[in-house]
Amino acid sequence: MFGVILAPMIFFGCAYYPWQGLSAVPIMKYAVLINPLVYVAEGMRASLTPGAPHMSLGIVVLALILITGLFWTLGMRSFMKRAVG
């Protein structure tokens, strides 16, 4: 499980480099935005090292709220299907 899911998620989650660093590979820069870890790493980077390049905090907060809402809704729908049905 670690090698298939978690390792690529960490590697492509901008944990080791800023999101702005992917400007050399534009396709990858926007492809990694489906990974929630990108927004967590960018938010942490913005709060801990404000001088380093990072994604806008407004975008980070909005994305984390939307992702949390999406996964909460999917989880509740799955839970209710199993609990009721």
pLDDT in tens, 15-64: 888 998 899 999 999 999 999 999 999 999 999 998 988 899 999 999 99
- Tell me if 39 sits within 8 A of 63, measured CB to CB: yes
DSSP 3: I
pLDDT for position 15: 85
- Tell me if 38 sits within 8 A of 45, measured CB to CB: no
As a whole number of angstroms, the distance between CA 52 and CA 49 comes to: 6
pLDDT for position 33: 93
pLDDT for position 24: 92
- Tell me if 18 sits within 8 A of 42, measured CB to CB: yes
Domain residue spans of the chain: 2-84
pLDDT for position 6: 84
pTM value is: 0.84
Tokens of 14: 């901008």
pLDDT for position 72: 98
- Tell me if 60 sits within 8 A of 33, measured CB to CB: no
> Which amino acid, residue 71?
F
